[in-house]
Amino acid sequence: MSQRDVKQSWNRLKYCLIGAFTLVMWFSSGTPAFPENTSSLKKIRVDGERRCFVTEDGKIFVPFGVNYFRPGTGWAPQVWKKFDAAAVREDFRRMKEFGVNCVRVFLTFDSFYREPGRLETFGLERWEEFLAIAEEYGIYVHPTGPDHWEGLPAWARKDTISNPESVAALVEFWKLFAGRYRGRPVIFAYDLRNEPSVPWENSELSRRWADFLHRKYGSPQGLAKAWGVEITEQAWLTPQVPSLDGPRQAILDYQNLREEVADEWTRRQAEAIKSVDQQALVTVGLIQWSVPVLLPDLRSYSAFRPSRQAQLLDFLEVHFYPLARGFYEYQSEEDRLANLAYAESVVREVARPGKPVVVAEFGWYGGGKLTINNGRHPPASEEQQATWCAELIGVTRGLACGWLNWGLYDHPEARDVTQLTGLFRVDGTPKAWARKFHELSANIASSCCVKWAEWEQNHPRPAFDFDRAISDRNYAPAFCQEYLKRFRTTK
């Protein structure tokens, strides 16, 4: 090799090393790796007056899409560990063809955040490719905070809502992650976590319970008067979790404590994101038990009260599945109406605080027979699925301004209704719901700016006593009956 060849080879190596070093610094610094917006996508903002979303040039934007994962990747789906760029690109082509403009996707601890304070290069590389494909097809991406889908490191196997160390680690995650992707309009918004719920009881809650009561009542005598029971010195110093058969005020106080924990969890993470990207939109994917219209048990209330969470977030999200009278099986008109009324009542309460609302998970099965629950559920047609999903959008359209179906494809490996909730069959052929979805996408932006006073005037419904619902097990059933009665008369 000549001296000239040696010099050229050295220069090529030098430039590769410089590039690799720069990439490593990007990965570790938390600063934007790709600050320039090379796609046609515009940054999405909240229009507070109209309670909807708009692009930075003022056009109404309705997130209308799916939760993204692929069949053939196990259950829970391995989105990143089994990442296939060619398959993802084909999925985005198919989504674009059928009117999808937003995909919600789960980040995971094992691919993105195995150690507190350090993002994983493995996950970031795949995420970068995912974003680039989304930009290529003009589809927004809605990442949901790290979860368990691909495994949990030891530190994340404890409660990550009330445990201070775990919450501190999540705060650091968002500073790194959101800071890194500042300036990428393809990211619609950050969802802090999928369906969070404050535990009913643990050591951290026990410690906070005493502080809560001492702060609120000041003395054993004040507590005794409020609860209408005798309070011993021991019960004052180390109060027990109230029995569900105990005083209603005691149960309500404990639920309010859990709400304080939820508020702190949300506030700290939202502030972390805003500290590195003031323009980022932040929300939380609320489980439907966040609105206690129907609860398996008072302890099932998630403690993420929409009216409190709304003060900490840019907009609200809620998930909904038809469980008003057990597992919906399309068998009767009464069941259909009960579930539509249930859906409306949940979304109505989430919309009440005045922020935009996205139904970020919805859907139901169709196109075959489920194998779950020992195969006891009757088969459902694709047309039944399409009709139900369209009706849910219709009944919530005056309250919500975004909808994301649960799944792009059917997922036979799933151990729940996800087996048959997709827009597409496993082989990629469109189901009846895909065709209906495409039809709806054409005019979904019309009539999606919520006029709350007008909606309330046109839809007389009973007032919902939230405090009673989370402290009196007899309240919600009576409320649901009255709500369904009103729903029948004025849809």
Does residue 233 carry a pLDDT above 80? yes
Q: What is the mean pLDDT of residues 239-265?
A: 97
**In which band, very low, low, confident or very high, does the pLDDT at 446 lie, cut at 50, 70 and 90?**
confident
CB–CB of 408/95 below 8 Å?
yes
pLDDT digits (tens, 9 = 90+) for 146-203: 999 999 999 999 899 999 999 999 999 999 999 999 999 999 999 999 999 999 999 9
Q: What is the mean pLDDT of residues 438-466?
A: 90
Please, where are the H alpha helices in 79-163? 85-97, 109-112, 121-137
pTM: 0.92
Which domains, from first to last, does the chain contain? 22-199+256-459 (3.20.20.80)
pLDDT attached to residue 491: 66
pLDDT digits (tens, 9 = 90+) for 4-47: 343 344 444 333 333 343 334 333 444 444 434 457 899 999 99
pLDDT attached to residue 210: 97
Identify the sign of the CA torsion 373, 376, 379, 380: negative
Question: Which residues have a Cβ under 8 Å from the Cβ of 179 and sit 6 or more positions away?
Answer: 30, 31, 32, 276, 277
Closest to 104 measured CA to CA, from 196, 188, 197, 195: 188
pLDDT attached to residue 158: 87
**Using alpha carbons only, how large is the chain's radius of gyration in Å?**
24
Alpha carbons within 13 A on the beta-carbon side of 41: 27
pLDDT digits (tens, 9 = 90+) for 112-135: 999 999 999 999 999 999 999 999
Tell me which amino acid residue 28 is.
Answer: S
Angstrom CA distances, 229 to 78, 161, 163, stand at 52, 31, 31
Phi, psi of 150 (to 5 degrees): -115, 20
pLDDT digits (tens, 9 = 90+) for 268-324: 999 999 999 999 999 999 999 999 999 999 999 999 999 999 999 999 999 999 999
Does residue 56 carry a pLDDT above 80? yes
pLDDT digits (tens, 9 = 90+) for 359-387: 999 999 999 999 999 999 999 999 999 99
Closest to 295 measured CA to CA, from 244, 332, 227, 340: 244
**In which band, very low, low, confident or very high, does the pLDDT at 448 lie, cut at 50, 70 and 90?**
confident
Question: Which residues have a Cβ under 8 Å from the Cβ of 138 and sit 6 or more positions away?
Answer: 39, 40, 41, 96, 101
Percent over 70 (pLDDT), the chain = 92
Beta bridge partners of 405: 66, 362
Tell me which amino acid residue 307 is.
Answer: S
pLDDT attached to residue 5: 42
pLDDT attached to residue 449: 76
pLDDT attached to residue 221: 97
**Residue labelled with tokens 């003022």:** 58
pLDDT attached to residue 216: 98
Tokens of 428: 């990629």
Q: To the nearest whole number, what is the mean pLDDT of the chain?
A: 92
Q: Report the C-alpha dihedral over residues 310, 312, 314, 319, rounded to 10 degrees.
A: -50
pLDDT attached to residue 3: 41
Closest to 32 measured CA to CA, from 124, 126, 147, 135: 124
Q: What is the mean pLDDT of residues 451-474?
A: 94
pLDDT attached to residue 32: 47
How far apart CA 104 and CA 101 sit, in angstroms, is 10
pLDDT attached to residue 236: 97
- The total of other beta-carbon atoms located within 10 Å of residue 37's CB is 14
Tokens of 203: 């050591």
